[in-house]
Amino acid sequence: MPIILKSASEIAAMRVAGRLASEVLDYITPFVRAGVTTGEIDRLCHEYMVEVQKTVPAPLNYAPPGYRPYPRSICTSVNHQVCHGIPGERVLKSGDIMNIDITVIKDGFHGDTSRMFMIGEPSVAARRLCQVTFECMWIGIDQVRPGATIGDIGHAIQRHAEAHGYSVVREFCGHGIGRRFHEEPQVLHYGQPGVGERLAPGMIFTIEPMINAGKREVREMADGWTIVTKDHSLSAQWEHTVLVTDSGHEVLTVSAGTPARPEPLPAVA
């Protein structure tokens, strides 16, 4: 399947879907605190999407080849969980870090975004991992312009992560997005400058680096979805959906509560 370039009207629809996905994260933020279960966070997000936004939670029953249908409406990945954590009975406690990943469908188009949440007072090491991963995402986004390559994005992210002694997860990557949840291209979060597909106006894809404090190896849990670090080190992730424009890029997953881009963006080593 080729990379699908989006028309002006499709881009307009993707802007709406992106804003709505981000607004779910805004909505849930005050509920994310010690004592709440990840299942309760899922229930609240589900209700907000379906009842208030009239969006469809894309994860619910999502079943790519080789996977059983995903059983919840959002992903909640806590501490050494890397991604695709299934909400349930787990009670959040002070010191936890958690990624909440939201994908909504509105009028047939997907918006996909995630943020890290810090519960109570995480360790200095945990906070630093969240911050550097946020910088990795933005350094990746900063590469996006016509003529740049997918490898330029991955290389910039990898350099920044490894300069801090962290590692980049290889098994999962960003992805084209539109009428389908996961489209081409694959957006690796590591790589070489100048390698891979060349970016062109109208492409829309996610950048969603998963960065481990320890080694990069991961494994899948028995639930068939939750990915954890093999060495049990902490992992963090941030995600935006990004459009390639004529002059550079536009982040589509923005809302009133979107955390500001780091200023200045740290220089890539």
**Amino acid present at 203:** M
Look up residue 28 and give its two tokens. Answer: 């849930």
Q: Of the two residues 254 and 268, which places its CB atom closer to ligand MF3 in the complex?
A: 254
List, in order, residues 6 or more apart from 62 with CB less than 8 Å away: 69, 70, 181
Q: Which is nearer to Co ion, 42 or 112 (CB)?
A: 112
> And the tokens for 199?
């970016």
Q: Is 239 in the site for ligand MF3 (CB under 6 A)?
A: yes
Which residue pairs from 115-121 have beta carbons closer than 8 angstroms and sit at least 24 positions apart in sequence?
115/25, 115/238, 115/259, 116/236, 116/237, 116/238, 117/29, 117/32, 119/32, 119/33, 119/34, 119/92, 119/93, 119/94, 119/95, 120/33, 120/34, 120/93, 120/94, 120/95, 120/96, 121/94, 121/95
Residue whose CB is less far from ligand MF3, 206 or 229: 206
- Using CB under 6 A as the binding rule, whether residue 101 contacts ligand MF3 is answered as yes
Is 75 one of the binding residues for ligand MF3 (CB under 6 A)?
yes
Nearest to 21 by CA among 263, 242, 261: 242
The CA distance from 187 to 156, in Å, is 12
As a whole number of angstroms, the distance between CA 231 and CA 135 comes to 24
Q: How far is the CB of 263 from ligand MF3 (least distance, A)?
A: 26
Query: How big is the chain, counted in residues?
Result: 269
What residues pair up with 103 in beta bridges, in sequence order? 112
Site mask for ligand MF3 (CB under 6 A), range 117-146, x = bound = ------------------------------
- Specify the residue, 160 or 175, whose C-beta has the smaller distance to Co ion: 175
Return the structure tokens found at 213: 């404090």
* The only residue of 6, 23, 25, 59 in contact with ligand MF3, by rule CB under 6 A: 59
Cα(184)–Cα(205) distance, integer angstroms: 8
103 part of the interface to ligand MF3, by CB under 6 A: yes
Nearer to ligand MF3, 92 or 137 (CB): 137
Residue 117 binds: one of ligand MF3, Co ion, none (C-beta under 5 to 8 A by kind): none
Question: Is residue 212 at the binding interface for ligand MF3, with CB under 6 A as the rule?
Answer: no
Minimum CB distance to Co ion, residue 175 (Å): 6
Using Cβ positions, the residue closest to ligand MF3 within the complex turns out to be: 59
Any contact of residue 204 with ligand MF3 (CB under 6 A)? no
- Per rule CB under 6 A, is residue 197 in the interface with ligand MF3? no
Determine contact, residues 157/120, Cβ cutoff 8 Å. Answer: no
Q: What does 70 interact with, of ligand MF3, Co ion, none (CB < 5 to 8 A by kind)?
A: ligand MF3
Which residue's CB is nearer to ligand MF3, number 197 or number 239?
Answer: 239
Q: What is the contact surface with Co ion in residues (CB under 5 A)?
A: 101, 112, 206, 239
Interface residues with ligand MF3 (CB under 6 A) are 59, 62, 70, 75, 84, 101, 103, 112, 206, 208, 225, 239
